Structure 1
Amino acid sequence: MYRVWGFITNYSLLLILGAVIALIWANVDSHSYHTFVEFPIAEHFFIGEMHEGHRMLTLHYLVNDLLMALFFAIAAKEVWEAVILKQGSLRGKKAATPLVATAGGMLGPIAVYLVLAMILGSDTFDAVKNGWAVPTATDIAFSYLVGRVVFGAGHPAVRFLLLLAIADDAAGLVILAIFYPTGDLAVQWLLLSIAAAVAVFVLANWLPRKLDKGRELRPNSTWVRNTLGFWPYLIAGCISWYGFMRAGIHPALGLLPIVPTIPHADRAFGIFAEAEKHLTDLLNDIEHKLKTPVEVILFFFGLLNAGVEFNAIGDPTWLVLAGLIIGKPLGILLMGAFAAHVLRLGLPEGMRTSDLFVIGCVAAIGFTVSLFIAAVAFEPDAMLGDTPVQAAAKMGALFSFGAAIISIVMGKLFGVKKVEG
């Protein structure tokens, strides 16, 4: 059983509300909107060359660089469980074809985006080339919801889509970390993040379990859980975030090294699974506690990033859309078919090769992560906020919702038979 609507309500409706408010506000009074986005909260010391050693802490920085770390931590939790647990959805042969298709779902958009940019001329290419990763993302929640509408809840293509979207998110995190640094790379600072992760794992996870070996009541592990709770991991997370920030890697990814160190259940029921709310391990407990804060954070993320004026629509908008709506379906179809038939990895029973193209259309809904990448791929103007190129790319991410309509139409054209259940 999957609680799709509950997930959409929890994590997406407030995000959409924030984005809609931002769009209206930016087109009614752009000056007041950008003044709000760059509202200075405090001036904090920043070691570097920005503003002579000082950087202004704005609402935009607070949400995008600090608070969004909680959102990416939840995404990392799902990816970690899918990879590490014995019944994880990204383990074994069952995940092989979706993983290969995921590669196509990223390479296809990149190729379409860059080739079309080159066709538009060198000036356009130079202006937009850094946004090549914007159309690679897939919004898990909305894609999953649309997938159920197109295929029906019981169709194997829905499970395939979910595996692909999780793998896509994992690859997106890697892309953000490697290709979109926030400054000059100083990778030695990552040692601080690694040290924090190792220390909290050894002291708060491994050592108590080691001392409790052969002791049924597990007194040490119980004391750590009941007395210290999530605090050791919060402290380690803050240290890791600082290490990422100083290393020049986007600090919103700063909690990723800490997620695997948190004690977790021996099994997971999968993203959207109703049963997961009954798991009491510390990792799931932390996720439950983060539910409401992350909802609020996503609202402000939409509010602070989606405020694009409609006159900003330009070449980057169509490049992002082409990457998503053309590159995604073709990439997933070609690589998925290659995996299934050439590599003989096969497709899930009841799924046709043509379903891969429809899955690609559904996966073309980028939204959340595409919007985030667009926000970091292009350097904003310190005074005016989004540059024209950045604003146009963001509009492409927002317009990717149109892939939902395309998916429904393609499902009809390709004769998809809905399977309820």
Structure 2
Amino acid sequence: MYRVSPFVRHFAISLVLGVIVATLWVNTGPDSYYDFIEWRLFDLSMPGWISPITASITPASLTSHVMMPFFMFFVGKELWEAVTLERGALSGAQALVPLGGVIGALLGAALLWVATGAAIEVAEEASFGVGWQVPLGSDVVLCYLFGRRVFGSGHPALHLLLLVTISCDFIGLFLLGLSYPRGGLLSLAWLALPIAASGLVWLLYGRFGRSHSPERKHQRAMQLWPYAVAGLLSYLGIAAAGLPPALGFLPVIPAIPSAARAFGLFAEAEQLLNDPLNRLTHLMTRPLAVVLFLFGLTRGGIDLGAYAPTTLTLLAAFWVGKPLGFLAGCALAAKALHRPMPAGISQSDLAIVALLLGVGFTVPVLAIDTSLPGGAMAEAARLGIGLGIAFGALGLVLARFLRK
């Protein structure tokens, strides 16, 4: 198992710094902070046959809808390689138990959100089950930051933690988009555009990426611009379909030539590879640290006085529903399918992975703005996310005890 590259730690530090600056700002000068993140840079009017809605581009929407898709592409590439490549961390039958855990974590988080909210929620704007999409996602870089402190940079459990958090993020975003499609269900017809773009770029370029292809076609397949164009078309199709723009580049990943084998998630060894998929992600490494700082700055302002029952609802879903659901899902999958746990993962390691799933930020924050009524309820949920990150630091103590 190869070591995880240190740039993931730099991502986590950038995100945390952005959250800290935003939290200090919103608690000392809330008017100026909200004026900044909601500052209308320009209005984007689309043709009526694409979208009848005129979008106002603000610093908050710019980071969430334009910059974050690059980060999701970056982590989506790792999940794709883990599932499809030789020696991938989730290739073949070894994916079944973690997949059961992911399904259990999502169900546990959603069910406990609904049950807790029904019992204690008092907000006038709340309705039964509203916001159940918020606790589905997690946070890849923050979970890595905590997991590395427990397992080290090359432990199989750290790779399992990263795979599970990436899976929760993507499924959470997809369910969020299906729950609140902008433009109605008919707009989902726009999904034909990313499918067509991905299929066409694979047919003309991507399928010649292997070394056994004719040299001229192989060299053409190693260019980056065809995949960049396909990615842009895919992004436009996803956004026009009403799904979260953060998913915009993902459909193109299978069409881009990649390495023949996996080295592990975010492995240092990948820096030596020159296939188009790895080259694209190498180009993103430094800019993404800035993107995550800006995302933390524009979306991470936590009002420390925003406590409400929604805060407890979120904490219950994150720190009770999701870990218990993950453990139950793994156990049921292992028993029903007669499959062992992934190699090198002990029961205590699995418990720590479940515990660290309670740390979430990026995708839950995106879900708050879509699935919760604005105002006090949304800010109370954001406070719960901030407290959850703090609880993650305390969880390191318990995690080290479990390892002993």
TM-score above 0.5: yes
CA distance in 2, matches of 1:311, 1:166: 31
Please, what is the CA RMSD of the aligned residues?
A: 2.8
1:205 aligns with 2:202: no
CA distance in 2, matches of 1:25, 1:230: 40
Structure 1 partner of 2:69: 69
Answer yes or no: is the 8 Å Cα contact 1:329–1:358 preserved in 2.
no
Answer yes or no: is the 8 Å Cα contact 2:79–2:163 preserved in 1.
no
- The residue correspondences of 1:8-407 to structure 2 (distance < 5 A) are 8-9=9-10, 11-47=11-47, 54-120=54-120, 126-127=126-127, 129-151=129-151, 156-185=156-185, 186-206=187-207, 208=208, 215=214, 218-225=215-222, 229-341=223-335, 343-348=337-342, 351-353=345-347, 355-378=349-372, 380=374, 387-407=375-395
CA distance in 1, matches of 2:49, 2:304: 35
CA displacement 1:193-249 (0-9 Å, x = unmatched): 22222222222223x569x9664xx02321453xxx322222222222221222111
Segment of structure 1 superposing worse, 98-107 or 176-185:
176-185
Task: Name the aligned partner's letter for residue 395 of structure 1.
Answer: L
Answer yes or no: is the 8 Å Cα contact 1:182–1:250 preserved in 2.
no
CA distance in 2, matches of 1:349, 1:70: 31
Answer yes or no: is the 8 Å Cα contact 1:112–1:323 preserved in 2.
yes
Gaps of 5+ in 2: none
CA distance in 2, matches of 1:143, 1:355: 14
Segment of structure 1 superposing worse, 128-137 or 44-53:
44-53
Structure 2 partner of 1:3: 4
CA distance in 1, matches of 2:100, 2:9: 27
CA displacement 1:160-218 (0-9 Å, x = unmatched): 43342333234234323323434423111111222222222222223x569x9664xx0
Answer yes or no: is the 8 Å Cα contact 1:361–1:406 preserved in 2.
no
Q: Which of the two has higher C-alpha Rg?
A: 1
Answer yes or no: is the 8 Å Cα contact 1:128–1:389 preserved in 2.
no
CA distance in 1, matches of 2:43, 2:213: 53
Task: Name the aligned partner's letter for residue 176 of structure 2.
Answer: L
CA distance in 2, matches of 1:221, 1:334: 47
CA distance in 2, matches of 1:241, 1:51: 14
> With structure 1 as the length reference, what TM-score do the two structures score?
0.86
Task: Name the aligned partner's letter for residue 244 of structure 2.
Answer: H
Aligned partner of residue 261 in structure 2, secondary structure: coil
Structure 1 residues 49 and 32, CA, compared in 2 at 3 Å: closer, same or farther?
Answer: farther
CA distance in 2, matches of 1:23, 1:408: 23
Structure 1 residues 283 and 152, CA, compared in 2 at 3 Å: closer, same or farther?
Answer: closer
Structure 1 partner of 2:398: 410
Aligned partner of residue 260 in structure 2, secondary structure: coil
CA distance in 1, matches of 2:48, 2:295: 26
Task: Name the aligned partner's letter for residue 29 of structure 1.
Answer: G
CA displacement 1:349-375 (0-9 Å, x = unmatched): 665445433321112111222222223
Identity %: 34
Aligned partner of residue 56 in structure 1, secondary structure: strand
Task: Name the aligned partner's letter for residue 350 of structure 2.
Answer: L
The CA deviation at 1:344 is 3.0
